[in-house]
Amino acid sequence: MKARCWHGVRDVRVERVPDPGILNPGDAIVRITSTAICGSDLHLYNGVVPGMMHGDILGHEFMGEIVEIGASVKRLKVGQRVVVPFPIACGQCFFCEQKLFSVCENSNPNAYLAEKMWGHATAGIFGYSHLTGGYAGGQAEYARVPFADVGPLVVPGELPDDKALFLSDVLPTGYMAAEACDIVPGAVVAVWGCGPVGQFAIQSAYLLGAERVIAIDHYADRLDMARTVSHAETLNVDEVDIVDALRAMTGGRGPDACIDAVGMEAHGAGVAYAYDRVKQAMRLESDRPTALREALLSCRNGGVVSVPGV
C-alpha cells in the first residue's frame, strides 16, 4: 500500500510499504477513505516530539471501511464504515473502566519511556511516535486498529465522510476543552488558537452556555472564521497585548475560563518568546508556551485554565 512516512525534520514522503495484517484476535483492518492532518502532526513534522523513527507512518485522524476482523471482534462487521478515535484503548483497565480512554494502561507498550519523558504515559496513539507505542498511522491506504471493539464509532451509511471525520480527534478535543471549563450561563471564555481544535472549542463553549467567547490567533482568515461561523469576538496577537486586552474586555477581572488550543509551538514576540525559542532549539525545554503563559496570566481569580494544546 501507499503511506505517508516520516523521515526527519520537515521530511515526510509518500512511499510503498507492506500492507497491515491482523496481529491479534481483537484487531480490525480498515481501508481508509478519509484522513486529516492535525496540528499535532506539525509537532512531529517540525521535530519537537521525540521518539520518531525513519519510516514511521503518520496520521491519527482517519475513517474508512472495515475489510477484515480478528477472531474475537464481536461489535464490528466487515463492510461497516467507522471513524477511528486517535487513542487506542483496551476497554478493560483501571482507566478504561472510568472512560479515561486516552490514558489506557494496556495499549502503550512503551509507557516506560513516556514516563521517563513526561512523568506519566498516554495510551497508545496511532502514528504518534514510539513514546505512544509506535503504532502505524492512518495517512495510508489501510491501517490496523487494535482493540477494535472499543474505540471505533460506526458511521451510518448516508453520512458523508466529512461530516464524521472530525470525531476522530478535533471535535471531541475541542468539546472536552470547553467541558473542562465548568461553564455557567454568562461566562466569558477566551480561546487561544483558531485552528480546528480552537474552532470546535469556541463552538462548544457557546453550546455549553458561555455568553461571550473571545478567540485569539494571528491568522486573519482563522479569526474571520471564528467571527463569522461562531460569532466569537476576536483578538489578533500581532496587534494587541493579549493579557491587557482581555482584562480591558472583562471589567479588569479576566475571563472566567481560558483555553490553550495552541500548544508547544506557539508564535510570539519579545524577550520571553526569544528565550523560549532558544531553549526549545537547544532542547533545554520541550515547549514554547507563549499561549499557556498568557492564559495563566489572564484568567480571573478562581477561574479555569483548560489545556488541550500539546
Ligand X SMILES: NC(=O)c1ccc[n+]([C@@H]2O[C@H](COP(=O)([O-])OP(=O)(O)OC[C@H]3O[C@@H](n4cnc5c(N)ncnc54)[C@H](O)[C@@H]3O)[C@@H](O)[C@H]2O)c1
Residues that bind ligand X (CB under 6 A): 38-40, 42-43, 169-170, 173, 192-198, 216-219, 222, 237, 261-263, 266-268, 290-291, 308-310
Q: Which residue, 102 or 106, has its beta carbon nearer to ligand X? A: 102
DSSP codes of every residue in 147-186: STTTSPEEPPTTS-HHHHGGGGTHHHHHHHHHHTT---TT
CA separation for the pair 273, 292 (Å, rounded): 12
**Which residue from 241, 177, 243, 240 is spatially nearest to 210, judged by alpha carbons?**
177
Interacting partner of 93 out of Zn ion, ligand X, none (Cβ under 5 to 8 A depending on kind): Zn ion
Q: Which residue, 40 or 230, has its beta carbon nearer to ligand X? A: 40
Interacting partner of 144 out of Zn ion, ligand X, none (Cβ under 5 to 8 A depending on kind): none
Interacting partner of 267 out of Zn ion, ligand X, none (Cβ under 5 to 8 A depending on kind): ligand X
Shortest distance, position 22 Cβ to ligand X, whole Å: 27
Count of other CB atoms within 10 angstroms of residue 42: 16
Q: Which residue, 70 or 124, has its beta carbon nearer to ligand X? A: 124
Cβ(85)–Cβ(172) below 8 Å:
yes
* Residue sitting closest to Zn ion (CB): 38
Q: Which residue, 148 or 210, has its beta carbon nearer to Zn ion? A: 148
| Pairing mode, strands 304-306 and 257-260 | parallel
Q: Which residue, 90 or 310, has its beta carbon nearer to ligand X? A: 310
Interacting partner of 197 out of Zn ion, ligand X, none (Cβ under 5 to 8 A depending on kind): ligand X
Cβ(50)–Cβ(117) below 8 Å:
yes
What helix, strand, coil percent values describe the chain, rounded to 5? Answer: 30, 25, 45
